[in-house]
Structure 1
Amino acid sequence: MIKFFRNIRKKLLAEGNTIKYLKYAIGEIVLVVIGILIALQINNWNEDRLEQREETKLLENLKIDFKQTIIEFNEMNSNRQIILSANYELTKLNANDEFLNTKKIDTLIGFTFIVPTFNGKSGSLMVLLNSGKINILKNEALKKLLFSWPSEVEDMTEGEIDSKKLTLESYLPIVRKYANVSEIIRTSPVLPIKPQIRPKGISSNYKDLLNDREFISLLYHLELFALDNIQETEKLIKISESIIEIIDSELKQ
């Protein structure tokens, strides 16, 4: 092809027809420019196609992560409801009742030892945020929700940390003062650790525990944490559902 154009130029020069040569030269330049533009368009089309494919994969991974996150959040709130129920039962017990059901109290206190924590980190989202690939996503509303997600989770986890700290540093010590904690843990249907039975166990004094004002105060404090954490988690569930709804809309396009 190049040889063909070169021969035409030589022929026009040989004829000495300057006007024809100039017209030909301009036409050749136009053809080259058109060829370059077509090549660029094809390249841009290929890049757009690859980017669209990558965006689809990112959206699918995000959807999987956030669906799993919703499952985890619902399980956490179910556990918090168990904690609240046990908490309410303990505060209603009559400490002066000489027929206190020790096994029942063991179970109830075992439930209050539960400290639900959020372990999901949404791996796909972290990759997007850390790599800058979040800019591949075209939906601005979705990007806004994803950018705000870490701070929203942090609000909830702060409550979890405070609740865990209160349980370990204040609640557990006062229970340990009156009760055989190893027996509570061993007989609990929800706590995974099962210590061995000691030959001479410490007997639990639940009458004095239920009369202890600090213990009752801590139960109310833990109740407030549980209620607040449930509210924060429900908010995150709604955000997750909004994210999934936008993703589904994007994947259908």
Structure 2
Amino acid sequence: MARFFRKFRLNSLSKSKIGKYVVYAIGEIVLVVIGILIAVGINNSRERSILEAKEQTYLKGLKEEFETSKRKLIQLMEVNERNYEGAKTILNYTNNPNENLSEKEFSELLSRSFSFDVYFNANNSLLNEMINSGSLKDISNDKLRKLLTNWEAILKDISKQEGELGEQRARVLDMFRTNANSIKTIFQLSTTSPETEFLQKENYVSNLNLLASLEFENNIMMFYLVSYSTSEAHYKPLLKELNSILDLINNEIQ
């Protein structure tokens, strides 16, 4: 009987030790799991901080680029408007014997309308770098990311329109590359620039005959229409798109 109770006590002690070991082991496992979760959380937090800092750097760079592009576009729109307003004025004098225009006035109108070509050169170096490196995904705002993705396609459409405008401008200027008319006269009588100030104001060839030319009128008309369309159907919507992008960028910058 004594041996039985002794054996019972030993078994109870053994079971008690096993129970304590199991509890200890479970506690160790729980602590390890908690440690892993904390480490993962810290790592994820660190990665998020790195990504957020990277995004902020991109956003600030994009803001600078698009603000520069906006300034360029506004200046270009002013040039284009001056061009088509000048062309519209010339149209009022074509095939209209009741309107008198001096050679100097005609030269100044031509100079103001056709001296400057129109081409929008957007600042896209950072955006192109982001697209090529796949970093556009780091922009967390879905709407902004979509607008940035579509930006290149919009610029291609603008470039196509500007190409058509350049062709119409060239057709007008080609009429001064003949023996009938003189581009030199335009430089002689319009506002002088450093490279043309040596030209004398006298002894010029008149270009007023162009006002009676139907070909000239047609070319001026086409230039005016394409230039006006470039402003209304392309540049103004582009400016609106630029403002939308800048608004989203400013909202995301912390």
Work out whether the TM-score is over 0.5.
yes
Unpaired runs of at least 5, structure 1: 1-15
1:127 match: 129
Give the superposition deviation at 1:33. Answer: 1.8
| 1:156 correspondence with 2:142 | no
Q: 8 Å contact 2:188–2:199 — kept in the other structure?
A: no
- Residue of structure 2 aligned with 1:238, choices 218, 237, 240: 240
TM-superposition CA deviations, 1:138-189 (whole Å, max 9, x none) = 1111111111111112211111111112322x22111332432244246655
1:57 match: 57
> What is the TM-score when the length of structure 2 is the normalising length?
0.81
Which letter maps to 1:211?
A
| 1:78 correspondence with 2:106 | no
Rounded to whole Å, the distance in 2 between the matches of 1:63 and 1:159 is: 26
2:5 match: none
Q: 8 Å contact 2:104–2:190 — kept in the other structure?
A: no
2:108 match: 107
Give the superposition deviation at 1:46. Answer: 0.9
Rounded to whole Å, the distance in 2 between the matches of 1:92 and 1:221 is: 14
TM-superposition CA deviations, 1:117-136 (whole Å, max 9, x none) = 01113222222222211111
Please give the root-mean-square deviation of Cα atoms over the aligned residues, in Å.
2.8
1:180 match: 182
Give the superposition deviation at 1:228. Answer: 1.2
CA spacing shift, 1:24–1:216, aligned 2, 3 Å: same
Q: 8 Å contact 2:187–2:196 — kept in the other structure?
A: yes
Bigger drift between 201-210 and 68-77 goes to 201-210
1:137 match: 139
TM-superposition CA deviations, 1:5-42 (whole Å, max 9, x none) = xxxxxxxxxxx933333332232222122111111111
Give the superposition deviation at 1:82. Answer: 0.9
Q: 8 Å contact 1:175–1:209 — kept in the other structure?
A: no
Q: 8 Å contact 1:163–1:225 — kept in the other structure?
A: yes
1:32 match: 32
Bigger drift between 35-44 and 63-72 goes to 63-72
Rounded to whole Å, the distance in 2 between the matches of 1:144 and 1:235 is: 17
Rounded to whole Å, the distance in 1 between the matches of 2:243 and 2:193 is: 31
CA spacing shift, 1:186–1:58, aligned 2, 3 Å: farther
Give the superposition deviation at 1:98. Answer: 11
Which letter maps to 2:70?
I
> What is the TM-score when the length of structure 1 is the normalising length?
0.82
CA spacing shift, 1:244–1:192, aligned 2, 3 Å: farther
1:66 match: 66
Rounded to whole Å, the distance in 2 between the matches of 1:149 and 1:67 is: 14
TM-superposition CA deviations, 1:208-228 (whole Å, max 9, x none) = 211111111011111111111
2:92 match: 92
Which letter maps to 2:156?
E
2:251 match: 249
Rounded to whole Å, the distance in 2 between the matches of 1:34 and 1:115 is: 68
Give the superposition deviation at 1:246. Answer: 1.5
Percent of aligned positions that are identical: 26
Rounded to whole Å, the distance in 2 between the matches of 1:192 and 1:242 is: 39
Q: 8 Å contact 2:130–2:136 — kept in the other structure?
A: yes
Equivalences, count: 235
2:7 match: none
- Residue of structure 1 aligned with 2:169, choices 164, 167, 170: 167
Rounded to whole Å, the distance in 1 between the matches of 2:158 and 2:198 is: 37
Q: 8 Å contact 2:63–2:249 — kept in the other structure?
A: yes
Give the superposition deviation at 1:94. Answer: 6.0
